[in-house]
Structure formats: C-alpha cells, structure tokens
Chains A and B, each alone.
Chain A
Amino acid sequence: EVQLVESGGGLVQPGESLRLSCAASGFIVSSNYMNWVRQAPGKGLEWVSMIYSSGTTYYADSVKGRFTISRDNSKNTLYLQMNSLRAEDTAVYYCAREGASTVGRFDPWGQGTLVTVSS
C-alpha cells in the first residue's frame, strides 16, 4: 500500500527549531517529487516546499531561508527542517507525493502533523 506518515510535530517557542519526518511506504521517495503543504488553523492549504527527484529544492517565499527540505534515501523518508520558527508557522503540515511523470498530481497525502509555535 502506498502510504505517507508524518511525525515530529509539537509545541515550540518562537525562534526555536523543529524537524518533521515523512516516512513513505509502497514507493521510492527519491524517484518522485515530494512536497510539504501546511494548513493554519481554520485556513486553506499553503504549499511550503518541494524536492525534485534530481534533488533540486524549492521553497515558498514565506519560509525561504528558514526551512530546508531533504530526504534520506536509505530510510525512504522525507524531512522538513524548520528553523527560526514564528507564530505564523503554526499549522498542520502534510507531505504529499507528486510523481515525476504525473506532475501536479499530489497523491497520496499524509495524515498531517501539528506544529504549534507559541510562548
């Protein structure tokens, strides 16, 4: 079964760091495009970052310079390192696969992990 499971969320103070993980099963992370998408409480979906199968990475302007997307091929896992966290980064963070040959198709999505940034 093709599946994504996020972990690593929690409560942190402004300025602190957190690393999210997205463990994949049923497919190879490095052969696909992978994305992080977040949803602030009561708000819509916001694209955060992506990594191509080539390893090229892209970020939304709102997180550029603070967040880093990466993957561990041996663990078939995607990561999002979040530094200098702000209150406005509070959200549920989802990872999603986007096939390199099916660009634009986010499928599947993970169940999400909640990040709360508050003092």
Chain B
Amino acid sequence: QLVLTQSPSASASLGASVKLTCTLSSGHSSYAIAWHQQQPEKGPRFLMKLNSDGSHSKGDGIPDRFSGSSSGAERSLTISSLQSEDEADYYCQTWDTGIRVFGGGTKLTVL
C-alpha cells in the first residue's frame, strides 16, 4: 500500500533553516513526490516535484530558499532563511496509476 509518513510538527527560528521529511512506504522508495504549502486559511500551493535522485522542479515564483533532496525512501524539503510567511502546513504527495496519495502534513512554526 502506497503511504506517505510525515512528522506532525516542526519548528525553527526566524532566519534559520529547517528540514521537513516525508517517508515512502516499503517497496515504493523509487517514487517521486511533490511538496505543497498551505498557509493559514488559504488553499494549497505547489512547491516542487522531487525525484528519487534528488532532482527537483519548482513551481513558478517559488524562492530559491526552498530546496529538495532524496535519500532512499526519504524525501526532504529544506527551507533556508526562514521567514514569517513560511509558517504553514506542508504536505507531500505521490502517485501511482489511478491513485494519488497525500501525507498527513507537517505544521511548521517559525519562532
């Protein structure tokens, strides 16, 4: 079964960096994922598509502060130089034929 696992919460200080992780279920470590950001009271926004080799393609207007990396079944989103507007929920998402799957989301608090 295709499942994505995320930590429920994370926090980091203004100006610092934070790494959010999404783990693919067993047998699915070669799958690509996408990261989406949802700021409070807003709809989701596509951030990037992240492949198993760590290559990624970002959405239009996504700052260079957002980057992705991969290691085995883990897919990570790193946000550097944290800003207040980065405080949001972050969801990873993957896919297979006829199915799309979201992780449970990570709530990022900027201290």
Type the 1/0 row for B64-91, where 1 means its CB is closer than 8 Å to any CB of A: 0000000000000000000000000101
Residues of B contacting A45 with CB < 8 Å? 36, 38, 44, 91, 93, 102, 105
> Using a Cβ–Cβ cut-off of 8 Å, how many residues does chain B contribute to the interface with A?
25
> Using a Cβ–Cβ cut-off of 8 Å, how many residues does chain A contribute to the interface with B?
21
Residues of A contacting B27 with CB < 8 Å? none
B101 within 8 A of A: yes
B contacts with A: majority SS: strand
Residues of A contacting B28 with CB < 8 Å? none
* Interface of chain A residues 82 through 119 with chain B (CB within 8 A): 94, 96, 102-112
Residues of B contacting A44 with CB < 8 Å? 89, 91, 102-105
- Expressed in whole angstroms, the minimum distance between the Cβ of B22 and any Cβ of chain A is 12
Could you tell me if A35 and B102 are in contact, using CB atoms closer than 8 angstroms? no
Binding site for A on B (CB under 8 A): 32-34, 36, 38, 43-46, 49, 57, 59, 89, 91, 93-95, 98-105
Excluding A47-B102, A107-B59, 8 further A-B contacts by CB distance (< 8 Å) are A37-B102, A44-B91, A44-B102, A47-B101, A50-B100, A58-B99, A104-B33, A104-B95
